[in-house]
Structure 1
Amino acid sequence: MKEILIFISNEYADWEIGYISTEIRKSNKYKISTVSISKEVIISMGGLKVNPTYAIDDILNNGIENFEMLILCGGCNWRKERYENEAVKKLVNMFKENSKSISAICDAVTFLAFNGYLNQVKHSGNSWEYISSVCPNYTGKNNYIEKQCVRTDSFITANGTATLEFSREIMKGLGLNTEDEIDNWYKLNKSGFYSE
């Protein structure tokens, strides 16, 4: 069974991957695995403690043929590290060079923009103004789309308020269900059973 690899770091935004990790696991099509800089316990913004499945070096040394997608979760650490993390860049490069999908939400999108991955790719994020203000080498203004989430052949990007849209586009990209089933799932979770 192929794996979906989720990168997490301390103070990752646990809610941003809550829906999608559940739907991937329920599908029985892929295995969920987590990766971080090391295998030390990671604590989310909500206080959840996770033992990463892999350290980044495990992946870099053994390859990614068994992985289908890399998901970069948002959180506080991206900004604290000023969007510079060589190990994560190596991981992203490995997925990109092997034509594997890369998904990012919230400040993980800013990391991709900061490091030039989105200059030639249609994408969304936490606003064009924000991205351009913190990413001096970002030249992707013409590719920025003001949508909750944007899916291309190689990247799925979403702003920090788009957890459901992010999950929907990943589900479609992975073919977890039919388009109609995924759209119905989205509508139910977006609107609920009752209107307020």
Structure 2
Amino acid sequence: MKTQRNCYVYVYNGYSDWEPALAIFGLNNFTDIRVVPFSLDGQPVTSGGNVRVQPQQSLEQAMAADIDLLIIPGGTTIASGNEHRALLPLLLKQLESGRLLAAICDATAFLANQGLLDHVAHTGNDAQVLQMMAPAYKGVAHYINKPAVTSGNLITAAGTAMVPFTKEIYAALGVLDKQELAFWFGFFDAANSAPKFSHVAPQPFFYRSYEVNMEGMLPLVRTATREMYQQAIAADLEVSGPVQWHYHQFDGNPQTVFRLDIGLPVTATAPVPAPYQCETLPAFDCISTTHEGGWDKLGDTYGQLISVLQVLGIPMSGYNREQYFQYDFNQPDQNITNVQIGIIKP
């Protein structure tokens, strides 16, 4: 029984290296799908970005391979270059076997010239552009004016649609439900609430500190917030944002005792009685995302953010913040929490 899935990427002199880059990086780093670059003769090529690429296989070897996804990127020569016609048997094999074939930018014109878009829904850089670049093209009636289109086992995309192209590939391969891949892809997918890196400016903050572990933190959930609002009013402070919990050196272990600051951003600092403090917090670098729903799932959001930092090799500072934009103890699925994990910039 087959266990290894394969993604083959055609590389050639002048190919647009950025077009397949997002898709293959995600597959290689967040799935068990093997990425195999190949050229016509297996010899090195130079991309349009002047990057020297050493293919792992030749076209002859690719013809004998079991390919789950075949990616054909665009480039300066593929639409009209006769040498690329040698790919046609591989393309036909891929389509006829029901395996995925993905083409982007000028590679769609190459498919059009081979008659492979005449009877199937597809897209490209533009219908008129396809007609100009592919004299043999007869599929204009099936052209769809969208960034990327999946029709059966064929995926096509415009050259400006690297992100939609990647999303169609991930969806067709059934890997978008992989938590780490979906979360990482959120950086690039504008349809998602993507995580982002932020530099939070210094801010005046009115708060109270506690030394607690996870169990000791729970009784504070409803009482501490009410107390902070009451004390802010008593101190004549102007509140400028939602309640925040700041975690210092909490490692996720329920038994670890850590410092927890619970407080409110205010417009200006002022003298306050102990045990309360009011000071301007220093600037804060973090990765953040919006967590929607119950706090019982906050650990999943933290895990996703931490996974991104690990992939990027960015160390954490040990200081995290949570901002509670909306919370409802009767309907926790309505909660909206901004999670910020402090980072150490290189």
Instruction: Judge same fold: TM > 0.5, yes or no.
Output: yes
Contact preservation (8 Å) 2:147, 2:160: yes
Partner of 1:8: 11
Partner of 1:44: 47
- SS of corresponding position for 1:102: strand
Counterpart check, 1:68 vs 2:63? no
Alpha carbons of structure 1 residues 79 and 110: separation in structure 2 relative to 1, 3 Å: closer
Structure 1 vs Structure 2 CA RMSD? 2.3
1:1-196 matches, within 5 Å, as 1-60=4-63, 62=64, 64=65, 66-79=66-79, 81=81, 85-178=84-177, 187-191=186-190, 193=196
Residue 143 of structure 1: CA displacement? Answer: 0.7
Q: Which runs of 5+ in 1 are unaligned?
A: none
- SS of corresponding position for 1:21: helix
TM-score (norm. length: structure 1): 0.88
Name the structure where helix makes up a greater proportion of residues.
Answer: 1
Partner of 2:297: none
Residue 80 of structure 1: CA displacement? Answer: 5.3
**Alpha-carbon distance in 2 for matches of 1:32, 1:50:** 14
**Alpha-carbon distance in 2 for matches of 1:38, 1:51:** 11
**Alpha-carbon distance in 2 for matches of 1:187, 1:32:** 21
Residue 187 of structure 1: CA displacement? Answer: 4.9
Q: Which runs of 5+ in 2 are unaligned?
A: 198-346
- CA deviations over 1:140-177 (Å, ceiling 9, x no partner): 11110000000122110001000011011101111112
Residue 99 of structure 1: CA displacement? Answer: 1.4
Residue 59 of structure 1: CA displacement? Answer: 2.4
Name the structure where strand makes up a greater proportion of residues.
Answer: 2
Alignment length, in residue pairs? 191
Amino acid at match of 1:74: G
Contact preservation (8 Å) 1:165, 1:186: no
- SS of corresponding position for 2:91: helix
Alpha carbons of structure 1 residues 132 and 31: separation in structure 2 relative to 1, 3 Å: same
What percentage of residue pairs aligned between the two structures are identical?
27
Alpha carbons of structure 1 residues 182 and 74: separation in structure 2 relative to 1, 3 Å: same
**Alpha-carbon distance in 1 for matches of 2:43, 2:181:** 35
- Could you tell which deviates more after superposition, 87-96 or 119-128? 87-96
- Could you tell which deviates more after superposition, 113-122 or 184-193? 184-193
**Alpha-carbon distance in 2 for matches of 1:104, 1:152:** 12
- SS of corresponding position for 2:78: helix
Residue 27 of structure 1: CA displacement? Answer: 2.5
**Alpha-carbon distance in 2 for matches of 1:160, 1:37:** 23
Amino acid at match of 1:103: A
